[in-house]
Structure 1
Amino acid sequence: MYKTLITCFILLICSFTQSYANDLEKTETELYEEAVGLFDQKKYKQAIRAFRKIEDLYPFSYWAMKAKLLSGISHYNMGDYSGAASDMDNYIYVYSNGEDLSYVYYLRVLSYYMQINKVQLGQQTAYKALELATEYINLFPNSEYTEEMKEKVKLITEHILAKEYSIGRFYLKRGEYLAAIKRFQNIISNKDSSYFPKSVSCLIAAYSALGLDLEAEQYKSLLARNIKGSDEIPHESKQT
């Protein structure tokens, strides 16, 4: 049994060594073209392995840089958003002056965006995606993707506020009014959010329950001004 395992291990090493020996006989360009061929055929797992070989054999080269980008796109197209984000993080770290940097940052935002959890779950990834989308807008204000990033910021912000609202409602129902107030106050700084009027209404309820009538009246006035300043109260956004 032990000898059999040793034999299999030796054969595996020999096969691996032969494979790399064959690759060394090809130029970097030839290896890249073969990898791109697999990518074009949507054979993403094979393409990723081929791109990785280029990075191993020719680290920090131009084609290794291109291979890293296409490896990330391959992961993204497979639905492996964590792998795509990792590839883009590595690209930014290694090729900080890469020619595709704007697109790499863009794909990194999308990779995190696609991993955002439902409102009922933790939202660490949502906060990270919001941070990266904001960073993108600041770094590449004239990019063709900037407007899309601005929309992503709005969508992610609304998603995060949905989580804050759900927690606030939970505390309000339990009679934990101070905790509820803190959550709703986090929301009302975003007056364009669909959760703004509902959060103000909840603040009125929380302060009234605490017997703080002056504060409740202030929020009633704020709600009245908001309703008067708009044609209608925005509908609750769809929770993901």
Structure 2
Amino acid sequence: MPLTFPTRGAMAAVLLSLGVGLGGCDALDPTNLFAEKYKPEVVADTPADKLYSDGLAKMEDRDFDGAAKSFDQLDKQYSYSDWSRKALLMTAYSNYEGAKYDDAINASKRYLQRHPASKDAAYAQYLMAMSQYKQIPDATRDQERSERALVALTELVQKYPNSEYATDAKAKIQITRDQLAAKEMEIGRFYLEKRSFPAAINRFRDVISKYQTTRHTEEALERLVEAYMALGITGEAQNAAAVLGHNFPDSPWYKDAYALLQTGGLEPREEKGSWLSRAFRSVTGQKTASAD
């Protein structure tokens, strides 16, 4: 037989037999059976200015985690308002000051996605870049954070060249590049010690090609002389020594390179058309060999 459901009158009789008062027709509505037990509680939103003041007060007390939570609550309660814009930036700043750098990065990214044309967009980019920069490890460890910091700092300089943060970003770009070069040098020396000369050469060439303005360039050139001499590629060794001597004549690394060449009865000799010579001319602004 098909299932049948009790009529409205039959349902009322059942409820009365169980001692349940009708309390009006709405008591028979199944969606209201538990209305008395589970009353929804409406919580009034905290005024925006109160949440913002609370966040600032916590910042003053150096309770950065608490401040971030207040600003985050403000952002959620007043989404897409001007309060939300201010709160999101302050969330990023609070997390940055509290050394919760990944949270600061995420908040900064959200700000830039929502408010790319804001007058504070440059500051949000700066907070994101600095949060990456603060996490740069020493040269013995993986340099993924350094790569991310370099990208973020470079974007800041390119997108906001006239901002008050551009000068500081440029200085930190140089430091970050130096760190990346240090890692390449560490790996290159390891290969050199293991007599894996082609692998070592590739690392030292990367230092010269990508990070030529760092403090590691002189050593990279001397190490190239070592590696090329070990492989018997004397022409490249002579060229590397000549470029080293031309650009860093007083460097102790040049003295070492010169002495190493002399053990083979060789002198530094630059090949004007070599990649090495062109690399240095492109940085110093000199004419290329083809234009000489």
Q: State the TM-score, normalizing by the size of structure 2.
A: 0.69
CA distance in 1, matches of 2:125, 2:212: 29
Tell me which amino acid in the other structure corresponds to 1:46: G
User: Unaligned regions of 5+ residues in structure 1, if any?
Assistant: 1-13, 235-240
Q: Rg bigger for which structure? A: 2
Shift of 1:90: 1.2
In structure 2, the partner of 1:40 is 60
Q: 2:85, 2:111 within 8 Å by CA — same for their partners in 1? A: yes
- Once the two structures are superposed, the pairs formed by residues 97-176 of structure 1 within 5 Å of their partners are 97-176=117-196
Matched, 1:59 2:118: no
- Once the two structures are superposed, the pairs formed by residues 183-198 of structure 1 within 5 Å of their partners are 183-189=203-209, 190-198=211-219
Tell me which amino acid in the other structure corresponds to 1:159: Q
In structure 2, the partner of 1:201 is 222
Per-residue CA deviation, residues 44-98 of structure 1 (Å, 9 max, x unaligned), is 2222221121122111111111111111111111111111111111111122222
Shift of 1:232: 4.4
Q: 2:229, 2:237 within 8 Å by CA — same for their partners in 1? A: yes
RMSD: 1.9
Q: 1:65, 1:98 within 8 Å by CA — same for their partners in 2? A: no
CA distance in 1, matches of 2:57, 2:213: 47
CA distance in 1, matches of 2:186, 2:174: 18
CA distance in 1, matches of 2:214, 2:117: 38
Shift of 1:99: 2.9
Shift of 1:102: 1.2
Q: State the TM-score, normalizing by the size of structure 1.
A: 0.83
Tell me which amino acid in the other structure corresponds to 2:49: T
Higher normalized contact order (CA 8 Å, seq sep 6+, divided by chain length): 1
In structure 2, the partner of 1:5 is none
Shift of 1:233: 5.6
CA distance in 2, matches of 1:181, 1:116: 26
Per-residue CA deviation, residues 166-185 of structure 1 (Å, 9 max, x unaligned), is 00000000011111000000
Matched, 1:223 2:244: yes
